[in-house]
């Protein structure tokens, strides 16, 4: 086992099959990786659908999305962890790129890359083009590591050493990158891409969603006023 993919889920019956099918079509041999779905107590058929496509499906015991990723990491058999979301679509070479980067860069402890919109409208392309540019600028200027939990990978030993994800509603991916940087090298690779669902932004509005995310991050990752995670989507 070379790599373990951890996917948090919550009421994702409309999307989980497409995500898992894309992960089962990777260019590396299937026996080289495992797929772990950590469910947050879905009331729909998410877990049943995942059972036939993932290697392990179980209900999370820790809190929030970061806790689900931590629970999956604790059950993972591979020395490399890759994380994505249940509504993402994964290109066939995603795991191949991750293994290649870690193989060529022994000092790297975390990898991340850009995201492309699944819902291909001009507005969505422009929104993610801005986000990807922001991520590149932060990386190349060494000012901000704008990693995303839907497209990141860790050396498992370093992930544990850094203290894993903290239990917050938003900003956990920024926060863990700061801690991972103290353990080793955090790398951005433009080849490491995933298809990202813009449904949150289409349903609730891009500016409103961004404002809520910034508000929660500015208030330490949690807020009673706004809830960024565990929403019911169309």
Q: What is the CATH number of the domain that holds 38?
A: 3.90.550.10
For 140-187, how does the pLDDT look when each residue is reduced to its tens digit (9 = 90+)? 888 778 788 899 999 999 999 999 998 766 667 888 998 999 999 999
pTM of the complete model beyond 0.75: yes
Give the long-range contacts of residues 89-92, CB within 8 A, separation 24 or more. 89/18, 89/19, 89/22, 89/118, 89/194, 89/195, 90/19, 90/22, 90/23, 90/26, 90/194, 90/195, 91/22, 91/193, 91/194, 91/195, 92/22, 92/25, 92/26, 92/27
Residue 224 lies in a domain: no
Per the structure, how many domains does the chain have? 1
Residue 230 lies in a domain: no
Query: Which residue range is the domain that position 42 belongs to?
Result: 3-218
Sign, Cα dihedral of 8, 12, 16, 19 = negative
Residue 77 lies in a domain: yes
Residue 225 lies in a domain: no
The residue ranking higher by pLDDT, 64 or 199, is: 64
Residue 45 lies in a domain: yes
Of 228, 179, 234, 165, the C-alpha closest to 202 is 234
pLDDT at residue 221 in the model: 46
Whole-angstrom distance, CA of residue 50 vs CA of residue 76 = 17
């Amino acid at each position: 086992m070379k790599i373990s993919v951890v996917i948090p889920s919550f009421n994702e019956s409309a999307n989980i099959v497409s995500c898992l099918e894309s992960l089962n079509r990777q260019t590396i041999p299937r026996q080289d990786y495992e797929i772990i779905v950590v469910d947050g107590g879905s009331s729909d058929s998410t877990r049943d659908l995942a059972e036939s496509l993932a290697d392990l499906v179980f209900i999370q015991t820790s809190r929030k999305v970061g806790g689900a990723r931590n629970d999956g990491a604790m059950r993972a058999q591979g020395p490399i962890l890759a994380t994505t979301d249940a509504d993402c679509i994964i290109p066939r070479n995603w795991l191949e790129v991750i293994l290649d980067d870690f193989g060529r860069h022994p000092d790297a402890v975390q990898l991340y890359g850009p995201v492309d919109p699944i819902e291909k409208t001009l507005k969505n392309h422009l929104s993610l083009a801005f986000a990807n540019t922001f991520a590149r600028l932060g990386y190349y200027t060494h000012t901000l590591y704008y990693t995303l939990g839907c497209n990141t990978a860790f050396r498992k030993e370093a992930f544990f050493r850094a203290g894993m994800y903290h239990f917050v509603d938003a900003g956990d991916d920024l926060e863990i990158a700061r801690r991972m940087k103290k353990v080793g090298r955090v790398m951005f690779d433009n080849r490491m891409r995933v298809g990202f669902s813009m449904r949150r932004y289409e349903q609730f509005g891009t500016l409103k969603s961004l404002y809520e995310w910034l508000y929660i991050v500015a208030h330490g990752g949690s807020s009673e006023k706004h809830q960024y995670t565990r929403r019911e989507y169309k």
